[in-house]
Amino acid sequence: MAENAKLTSAEQIVVKFTGDSGDGMQLIGNQLTALAALDGNDVNSLPDYPSEIRAPAGTIAGVSGFQMCLGDHKIYTAGDAPDVLVGFNPAAVKHSAKFVKAGGMIITNSDSFTEKALEKVGYESNPLEDGSLKGYDVKAIPMFTLVREALADMEMPNAAKDRCKNFFTMGVLCWLFNKEKQLVLDFIEEKFGASSKKPKLQIAEANTKAFKAGLNYGETTVMFQERYDLGAAQIEKGLYRNITGNDAAALAIAAAGEKAGLQPFIGSYPITPATDLLHYASEFKDVDLVTMQMEDEIAGICCAVGAACAGNLAFTTTSGPGLALKTEAAGMALILEVPLVIVNVQRGGPCTGLPTKTEQSDLLQSMFGRNGDSYMPIIAANSPADCFDATFQAAKIALQYRTPVIVLTDGYIGQGSCPWKVPTMAELEDLTPYVNFWKPEDHPGETYMSYKRDPETLARDWAIPGTKGCQHRIGTLEKDETGAVSHDPAVHQYMTETRKAKVDNLAQVLPGVEVNGKESNKILVISWGGTYGAVKGAVDRLIEDGKPVSGINLRWVWPFPPNLGEIISKFDKILVPELNMGQLSLMLRAKFLVDVQSLSKVQGDPFREYEVIDKVNEMLGE
Amino acid sequence: MADTQLTKKDFASPNEVKWCPGCGDFAIMNAVRSGMVAAGKPRDEVAIVSGIGCSSRFPYYMETYGFHTIHGRAAAIASGLKVANTDLDVWVISGDGDSTAIGGNHFIHAIRRNVNLNYVMINNKIYGLTKGQYSPTSEMNQISKTSPYGVIDYPMAPLKVAMGLGATFVARGLDKKMKLSEEICIRGAKHHGFSMMEIYANCVIYNDGCHNQLTDKETGDNNVIIVRDGEKMIFGTDNQFCLVQDGFTVKAAKVADVAEADILVHDEKNADMGTILTGMRPDGGLPLALGIIYADDTKKPYDDMVFEQIDAVKAKRGRTMDQIMQEGHTWTV
Ligand SMILES: Cc1ncc(C[n+]2csc(CCOP(=O)(O)OP(=O)(O)O)c2C)c(N)n1
Ligand code: SF4
Ligand SMILES: [Mg+2]
C-alpha cells in the first residue's frame, strides 16, 4: 500500500471522461455514476457526443465525453471545471486538458501515446514528456501493458484485452474515490456473469481481473498522493435509480396512460437528441404503450392527433427541426381541442444546427410558432429526473383542459442523468377524473354539443367515436359552440378569445413560484428548464457569501405563474441566463414591462455556476 | 330503429351539401354510403377522416363521427385513429391533390403499412377548392389557372404507385358509373386491410369534361375496361375489343381477330396483372381499367399486428409499470 496516499475529505468532485466515441465513454461514466449513487453521493452527469457516430478514431472530431459531478450534498449540475480528467488517448487529452481545473488531475493511457497517434492530432512532441501539461497532476498509466499482464493467462486476442482498460480505470477510480469495490464486481456479474441475460463468462472474468488490477495499481504504486472521500448526501429516503431525462419522459408517458385509464400512444419520427425517448418507450408494449414510428414528424403528430381523437392519451416526441414540421398539426390539435402532449428535446439551431448539443432556443417557436392566435401551455423540465414529473403534469393538463401542451426539455437534461426517486404507481396522481368523456347516460335529456364548455376550465365537452348516439363532425375550420362551421366575425372573435382564456385560466390553478432567498432584494435570477441547476447552485453560493441575490425557477413557462409579476416587482434588477439569445427575457419584458437583463450562451454547452456568479457580481458592481 | 338495418339515407347528416350542382362528388358520396351500409357498423362506430379540398368537405354530410383535418394528412391521422380504436370502421376521403401532392408521403406509407382503412381518393385532376390549379394527376397540356399555356408536369398513376407499395386492395371507379362505384365501395368496405379506391369525378367548374373520353355516350366504352375476377377482359361499345398477352405486357385486340382462348381472364389475386392494369391509359392505346383490379386478403393489416405484438410482449415479458420503473440500477436510501 502506498503509505503516503492520504484520504482527504471532499464536498464534491467533478470528473470528465474523454476518449474515442465507440470507446465506451458513456458506459464508464454511467458506471461511475451508479457506483457513486449507490454509495450515497448525489450525482449529476452530462454526456457529450460528437455528431458523427464514428468519426475517424484518434481524431479530435471523434472525441466523445462524459462529465459528472458527485457530492456529499445536493448536486444540481454536472459541474464546472473538472477536478479529474480521464483522457484515454492523445486526442482526448488535447481536446479536454484545457477544461481541467488548474492543478487538477489528468489520468491517461500512456500506451496510446504512439508517434502515429500524436501526429494524428498535431502534437509535435509527446505532451506527457515535454512539460506542456505542467500545471496539471498527470498520471500517465501504461494501461494496455498492465491489462495485458493481468490477463496474461487468458486466451484472448490483445485487442479484446485492451478493451478491458475501462474496467481497469474503474479500479483506479474506485480506489481513488474510496468506493466500495463489491458494487463494481456485482455489476460485472450482473452484466456478463452466469446469471445475466446474455452470459459472457470470458468477458466477465477478464473485466473482473482488469478491475482488480486497477484497484491494486492505485493501492501499490506511489503515483497517487491523495485519495478523496465523499460523505453521503442528505437524500430523501426511498428507492432510487439513475435516469436520463429521455428515459424519464418515456416512463412518464406510459405511467400517465395507465393512471388515466387510457391507452398511451406515441406518434414520432427519430431525431437527435430525442431518439432515446422513442427507443426506450418502444420497449413498453407489455404496459400497452403503442409507438408508431411514422414517415416524418408531420405524420408523427398527425397520427397522435388521430389517436387523441379516438380517446388515447397521445404524445409526439421530437427536437427543434421536427417541432417546426409539426406546427400546422399542433394548431389542428389546438382548434379541435383534443389533449396532446408534444415533448420537444431542444438542440442547437437554427435548422439542423447542432444536433447533439444542447440549447434552449425553441421557446419562442413553442410559444408563437403556429399560424393564428394559438396559445398552448408550455412546461419546462428542470433536470433529468424532473422530465418524469413534467411530462406527467403535461398529460394531466392536456386532458383536463383538452389542449395540446408542450414539454420542453433539452439535450443536456434529455441525455444527462441524475438519481431519480422512483415513485410507485399508487403514489402517482389518479388522472381518471380529468378524462371525463361525454356519455349520454351521464347527461339525461341533453343533446351532445361538441364545443359546449366547462364554465371553469373552459374545456369542451368531448365524446369520442364509438360513443352511442353521439356521432358528430368536428374540423379545423372555425366553428360555433355546436361545432358547426362558422365564418361569423363575432364567433371567430369569441372563439379566439375563449381558446386564449382557456390557457390563461390555467395560471390560476398552477402553483405559485417560490423564491430562493429573500422575497425582496437587489437581484433576482430567473431560471427555466435546463438552467435550473446552474442557477440554483450559483444563487445558493451567492446567498452563502451574503450577496443580495435571490432566485426563482419557472416550471410552467406559459402561462406565467400567477405571482410572478408581484415577485419581479420587488427586485431592482432581473437576470435571466438562457441558452439562447434572450427568448424568455423577451417574453418577460413584454409581459411585465421590466428591464430584464439577459445572460445568453449558445455554445452547445450548459451554463456553469461560475458564469452565473460572475454575471451577478458584475451587476452588483463587484 | 335498430342500427343494424341502416339504409343509405341514415348516413346522411342534416347539413346542407355545398358542392356545386353537378359535381361528381355527389355520386361518390352515394357509393360510399352503400359501402357503409354493407360494412354493417352502427353509425357511431364509423369515423370519416378527410383532408382539405372540396372533396374533403365530405364528413360534414355524413351522419357518423367526422374529422375534417388539414391538407394532405388524413392518411396519417386516420392511421392513428384506427390503431387507437380498431373497432371503428374508418374511412378516408381525399382529393387528388390532397393525396398525391401535399399528402403523397402519408398516402404512400399508409398503403405500405396496410392499415385497415377504406381510402377513397376522388380524382378530378384539378385543385377544386382553391379554384382550379393543376394537380399531380392533371394531364399533360391541361389548361388551368397555374398552367395557362398547358401543364408540362408528367401525371402520376396513383394506383400503379399503390401496386408498387404492395397494396392489398386496388380499385378504380367513375362518378358516372354509379353501380360500379357502389360495388367498389362495398367490396372495399369489407376488405380487411387498406382499401385503395380511386374514383374519377368531374369538376363542373374548373375541369369540366375532364373524363369525357371515358364517359362519352358514343365512344366512352371504347376507352375503359371493367375488369371482374374470373371473367374475360372484353370491352368496347359492342364488346368488340379484348386484352391479350403481348410479351411481358398486354395489348388490345379485336375479339374477332383472336382465338377465344387467347383472351386474358382477370385474376384479382395476380399482382403482376394488377400492376399492368393500373398503368393502362387510353393515350397509350389501352383502355383505362375500372373495377376491382387487385384484392389480396392474406396480408395482415398493420393495426392487427400492433396488438398481436403487444399481446406477445405481454406473454413474454409481462412487466407491470412498477416493475419497469424499478428496472436498471436501483438503490435504496
Ligand atoms: C397547408 C395547406 N396548403 C394549401 C392549402 C390550400 N388548398 C386547399 S385544398 C387544396 C387543393 C385541393 O385539391 P384536391 O385535393 O384535388 O381536392 P378537390 O378540391 O379537387 O376536391 C389546396 C392547394 C391548404 N388548405 N393548406
Ligand atoms: S369546384 Fe369542382 S370539385 Fe369543387 S364542388 Fe364545385 S364542382 Fe365539385
Ligand atoms: Mg381535386
Q: Taking residues A77-98, what's their average pLDDT?
A: 94
Q: Taking residues A245-273, what's their average pLDDT?
A: 98
Q: How far apart are CA B243 and CA A205, in angstroms?
A: 73
Is the per-residue pLDDT at B3 higher than 60? Answer: no
Q: Taking residues A421-450, what's their average pLDDT?
A: 97
Q: How far is the CA of B135 from the centre of ligand 2 (A)?
A: 14
Is the per-residue pLDDT at A148 higher than 90? Answer: yes
Q: Taking residues A64-78, what's their average pLDDT?
A: 92
Domain contains B149:
yes
Among B14, B1, B4, residue whose Cα is nearest residue B36: B4
Atom of ligand 2 nearest to the CA of B131: 1
Residue B316 burial (CB < 10 Å; 0-12/13-18/19+)? exposed
Average pLDDT, chain A: 94
Domain contains B53:
yes
Is the per-residue pLDDT at A423 higher than 80? Answer: yes
Structure confidence at residue A379 (pLDDT): 98
Please indicate whether, in this complex, the C-beta atoms of A467 and B44 are within 8 angstroms of each other. yes
Share of chain B above pLDDT 90, in %: 97
Share of chain A above pLDDT 70, in %: 99
pLDDT tens string A104-131: 999 999 999 999 999 999 999 999 999 9
Is the per-residue pLDDT at A39 higher than 90? Answer: no
Question: How sure is the predictor about A172, in pLDDT bands with cuts at 50, 70 and 90?
Answer: very high
Alpha carbon of A607: minimum distance to chain B alpha carbons (Å): 28
Chain A residues near residue B333 by CB distance under 8 angstroms? 40, 235-238, 240
Please indicate whether, in this complex, the C-beta atoms of B45 and A305 are within 8 angstroms of each other. no
Pairing of strands A556-558, A378-380: antiparallel
Ligand 2 binding residues, C-beta < 6 A:
B 19-20, 23, 25, 54, 124, 128, 203-206
What residue owns the CA closest to ligand 1's atom 10? B53
Most B CBs within 10 Å: which of A295, A313, A332, A437, as the mutation test of the B interface?
Answer: A295
Share of chain A above pLDDT 90, in %: 83
ipTM value = 0.97
A516: left (phi over 0), alpha (psi -120 to 50) or beta: beta
Is the per-residue pLDDT at A330 higher than 70? Answer: yes
Domain contains B162:
yes
Number of domains comprising chain B: 1
Structure confidence at residue A352 (pLDDT): 97
pLDDT tens string A349-372: 999 999 999 999 999 999 999 999
Question: How sure is the predictor about A1, in pLDDT bands with cuts at 50, 70 and 90?
Answer: very low
Q: Taking residues A172-187, what's their average pLDDT?
A: 91
What residue owns the CA closest to ligand 2's atom 2? B203
Residues B184, B186, B188, B190: is their CA dihedral positive or negative? negative
The answer for B 280-309 residues in CB contact with A (under 8 A) is 306, 309
Chain B residues near residue A188 by CB distance under 8 angstroms? none
Domain contains B145:
yes
Q: pTM for the whole thing?
A: 0.93
Considering only CB atoms, B326 lies closest to which of A307, A329, A422, namely A422
Does A250 lie at the interface with B, CB-CB under 8 angstroms? Answer: no
Domain contains B245:
no
Structure confidence at residue A9 (pLDDT): 79
Contacting residues for B91 by C-beta, under 8 A, at least 6 apart: B32, B35, B36, B46, B47, B48, B49, B78, B117, B118, B119, B120
Residues B307, B310, B315, B316: is their CA dihedral positive or negative? positive
pLDDT tens string A560-574: 999 999 999 999 999
State which residue of chain B sits closest to A32, comparing Cα positions.
B329
Contacts made by residues A602-605, CB under 8 angstroms, sequence distance 24+: A602/A348, A602/A359, A602/A361, A604/A348, A604/A354, A604/A357, A604/A358, A604/A359, A605/A357, A605/A358
SS3 of A72, please? coil
The answer for A 554-593 residues in CB contact with B (under 8 A) is none
The runs of H, that is alpha helices, within A320-460 are: 320-325, 327-336, 363-368, 386-401, 411-415, 432-435
Q: How far apart are CA B59 and CA B29, in angstroms?
A: 10
Burial B123-160 (b: 16+ CB within 10 A, else e): bbbbbbbeebbbbbbbbeebebeebeeebeeebbbbbb
Question: How sure is the predictor about A242, in pLDDT bands with cuts at 50, 70 and 90?
Answer: confident
Q: How far apart are CA A260 and CA A292, in angstroms?
A: 20
The answer for B 71-90 residues in CB contact with A (under 8 A) is 73, 76-85, 87-88
Please indicate whether, in this complex, the C-beta atoms of A303 and B76 are within 8 angstroms of each other. yes
Is the per-residue pLDDT at A84 higher than 90? Answer: yes
Most A CBs within 10 Å: which of B71, B73, B332, as the mutation test of the A interface?
Answer: B73
- Domain with B66, as residue range(s), is 3-210
Considering only CB atoms, A298 lies closest to which of B62, B73, B306, namely B73
Structure confidence at residue B35 (pLDDT): 96
Domain containing residue B77: CATH number: 3.40.50.970
Strand order from edge to edge, sheet including A417-421: A137-141, A105-109, A84-87, A12-20, A63-71, A42-48, A417-421, A239-244, B330-332
Contact B238, B288 (CB under 8 A): no
Q: How far is the CA of A312 from the centre of ligand 1 (A)?
A: 29
State which residue of chain B sits closest to A473, comparing Cα positions.
B66
Domain contains B302:
no
Question: How sure is the predictor about A2, in pLDDT bands with cuts at 50, 70 and 90?
Answer: very low
Residue from B16, B93, B124 whose mutation best tests the ligand 2 pocket (most atoms within 8 A of CB): B124
pLDDT tens string B257-305: 999 999 999 999 999 999 999 999 999 999 999 999 999 999 999 999 9
Domain contains B67:
yes
Considering only CB atoms, A295 lies closest to which of B70, B83, B106, namely B106
Is the per-residue pLDDT at A4 higher than 70? Answer: no
Give A458-474 as a 3 state SS string: CCECCCCCCCCCCCCEE
CB atoms within 10 A of CB A240: 22
The runs of H, that is alpha helices, within chain B are: 25-39, 74-84, 96-97, 104-113, 158-164, 178-190, 212-215, 271-279, 302-316, 321-325
CB atoms within 10 A of CB A618: 12
Question: How sure is the predictor about B2, in pLDDT bands with cuts at 50, 70 and 90?
Answer: very low
Structure confidence at residue A54 (pLDDT): 64
Q: Which of A231-245, A326-340, B110-124, B154-168 has the least mean pLDDT? A: A231-245
Domain contains B102:
yes
Does A333 lie at the interface with B, CB-CB under 8 angstroms? Answer: no
Give me the DSSP letters along A229-253. EEPPP---SSEEEEEEHHHHHHHHH
Atom of ligand 2 nearest to the CA of B25: 8
Instruction: State how far the alpha carbon of A243 is from the alpha carbons of A172, A283, A409, in Å.
Output: 25, 16, 14
Alpha carbon of A469: minimum distance to chain B alpha carbons (Å): 6
Beta bridge partners of A65: A18, A48
pLDDT tens string A397-415: 999 999 999 999 999 999 9
Strand order from edge to edge, sheet including B241-246: B234-235, B241-246, B249-254
Say which residue, A211 or A35, is predicted with more confidence: A211
Please indicate whether, in this complex, the C-beta atoms of A294 and B109 are within 8 angstroms of each other. yes
Give me the DSSP letters along A256-318. HHHHHTS-EEEEE---TTTHHHHHHHTTGGGGT-EEEE-SSHHHHHHHHHHHHHTT-EEEEEE
CB atoms within 10 A of CB A488: 11
Q: How far is the CA of B280 from the centre of ligand 3 (A)?
A: 21
Q: Taking residues A521-532, what's their average pLDDT?
A: 97
Domains plus CATH for chain A? 6-230 (3.40.920.10), 241-434 (3.40.50.970), 441-509 (no CATH), 521-619 (3.40.50.920)
The answer for A 483-512 residues in CB contact with B (under 8 A) is 484-485
